Chain A
Amino acid sequence: MKILVCITHVPDTTSKIAFTDNNTKFDKNGVQFIIGPYDDYALARAVELKEASGGTLTVLNVGTAETEPTIRKALAIGADDAIRVNAEPTDSFFVAQQIAAIAKENNYDLILMGRESIDFNGGMVHGMVGELLGIPSFSPVMKLDIEGNTAKMAREIEGGKEYLEVSLPFVAGCQEPIAEWKIPNMRGIMSARTKPLNVVEPSGTTENTKVSEFQLPPAKGAVKMFTVDQVADLVKALKNEAKVI
């Protein structure tokens, strides 16, 4: 089986979000970058599927050269090789076009992504790639098993889940508990250094959106504390002051 996993290079979940250049650029100062947590689930499941049934596992990122340490980490976790499309990933459709172009050349049986990126939270690249390739797409997928040419999966719906069956190939946006995050071991880290990381230039340039300005939410006021004996006062505040109950 040929598996493609698409990963993002995003600020660590504990990062403080700030902007520079008149609120037009993300402030990378002091920020640690990681594989997107949902992409990390997709990667972990892909490594398990490959271990179970053989085949190849490629990781793909659309990003500039600074994403390479993140890509190397995915290689250390268990991908065989990597592709980086050398471009700033500013628009979802632009990214989807790049992924679809690579997929058309390589005929993957399975394309796994995260349910959403944690920087732009679009939750849409998997669907766009599915439509561009004319194959089914699913998200958010929380369980995925493959037998021969058929996949069985569970997709989370609001308030529950639905179980599905579909033939390969398809695209899935993954989330927990599809697999446990994997931590690279020493051997993985050593071998990742020499695994191929191919850099290709973008193949289309259509962008449908452009960010003109970033904004931060207004600062929160101080918390009003109540003692255990003032529960009734808290309820009063919720009723008369906040007007939420």
Chain B
Amino acid sequence: MSVLVFIEAADGVVKKSSLEAVSYGFKLAGASVTAIAMGSISSDELAKVGAAGAAKVLHIADSRLDNGVIQAYASALTQAVDKTGADTLVLATSSLGNAVAARVAVSMQAALVSNVVDLPETGSGFKVKRSIYTGKAFAMTEVTTAKKILAIKKNAVEIKEDGAAASVEALVVNLTDADFAAKITSVDKAEGDVLLPEADIVVSGGRGLKGPENWGMIEDLAKSLGAATGCSKPVSDMDWRPHHEHVGQTGVKVSPSLYIAVGISGAIQHLAGVNSSKYIVVVNKDPEAPFFKAADYGIAGDAFEVLPKLTEAIKAAK
């Protein structure tokens, strides 16, 4: 199997989920894995890709690719697949990754499977397990084409850290004006925060927090854990928090090791976004709140009393 891994970077920093994809590629193909990165990325960042398991990194150092221009990425990636002769493309499932991979799947006549959670079974045919029904089930999916694209679900693979240094090679591809038909006019980004979809720990607040002025408690707890912050849909609908923090069926799907939900009732649509978490802690003043049924640990109590105590206890334990 000849594996190429697509690296996504944000502001020149390689995403954690892309390192997971590299490590998945390494498990598939061993030391022959090649990665491809685009846009302005430092050599220190590219070195991480080697540690995660890639023997070689192809770098298209074109600053027009600093932002995720879907069509240009797809075109560059298709050319890279052609040039390397890869039969399997691996990447992280993400809003950009999927949008790009879908186009590449058509141009390279490959099957695309997204939300992959495990290594393939190759005993008879090629079968891979993916998450479906928003985390409520899995489908063993048989791929019938010679070429394949696997988009790996976040936090499904452990990142390898002991790989050798990768050799970095510049790759030149031919990008046309049509590839840049869409003009990105501006980008709004929260700086320096832990990215919610990739976070290993998430602290989320719901309507039980009463108002945006109380979010300091959530942020303090998150900070003590190095966690990202999330919220329920009504909270983002009321503009207490930005939309990209909204977790659930119609929002971000997270799969952290630890999800802490405070003042969230646990409606099924919220659970759909968190059911891939390894552990769930629920703080709710109503002991009958449905969220407790989906939790591993719970405190039935008032968030305003529990949160400061919890933050202190975590700081003390560190």
**B113 and chain A: residue at smallest CB distance:** A209
Residues of A within 8 A of B132 (CB): 119-121, 214
Which one, B98, B141, B145, B305, contacts A228 given CB within 8 A?
A: B305
* Main secondary structure on A side of the interface with B: mixed
Which one, A164, A211, A238, contacts B279 given CB within 8 A?
A: A238
A-B contact number at CB 8 A: 278
Number of A residues near B (Cβ < 8 Å) is 81
> What does the 1/0 interface line of B293-312 toward A look like (CB < 8 Å)?
11111111110011001100
> What does the 1/0 interface line of B133-173 toward A look like (CB < 8 Å)?
11111111111110000000000000000000000000000
**Is the CB–CB distance between B279 and A137 below 8 Å?**
no
**Is the CB–CB distance between A158 and B243 below 8 Å?**
no
Please tell me if B31 contacts chain A, counting CB pairs below 8 Å.
no
Inter-chain CA distance A161–B306, complex, in Å, is 34
Inter-chain CA distance A177–B237, complex, in Å, is 8
**Is the CB–CB distance between A137 and B137 below 8 Å?**
no
Please tell me if A224 contacts chain B, counting CB pairs below 8 Å.
yes
Which one, A125, A164, A224, contacts B297 given CB within 8 A?
A: A224
Chain B CB within 10 Å — which of A207, A224, A231 has the most? A231
**Is the CB–CB distance between B137 and A217 below 8 Å?**
yes
**B198 and chain A: residue at smallest CB distance:** A158
Residues of B within 8 A of A170 (CB): 182
**B96 and chain A: residue at smallest CB distance:** A157
**A166 and chain B: residue at smallest CB distance:** B182
Inter-chain CA distance A37–B273, complex, in Å, is 14
**Is the CB–CB distance between B190 and A159 below 8 Å?**
yes
Q: How far is the CB of B217 from chain A (nearest CB, A)?
A: 14
**Is the CB–CB distance between B193 and A159 below 8 Å?**
yes
Which one, A159, A162, A177, A209, contacts B67 given CB within 8 A?
A: A162
Chain A residues proximal to chain B, CB less than 8 Å:
11, 13-14, 17, 19, 37-38, 92-93, 96, 115, 118-128, 130-132, 136-140, 142, 152, 155-167, 170, 173, 175-177, 207-217, 220-221, 223-228, 230-232, 234-239, 242, 244-245
Q: Which 9 A-B pairs have the closest CB atoms?
A: A127-B102, A208-B111, A160-B189, A124-B102, A131-B106, A131-B103, A228-B301, A123-B98, A166-B182
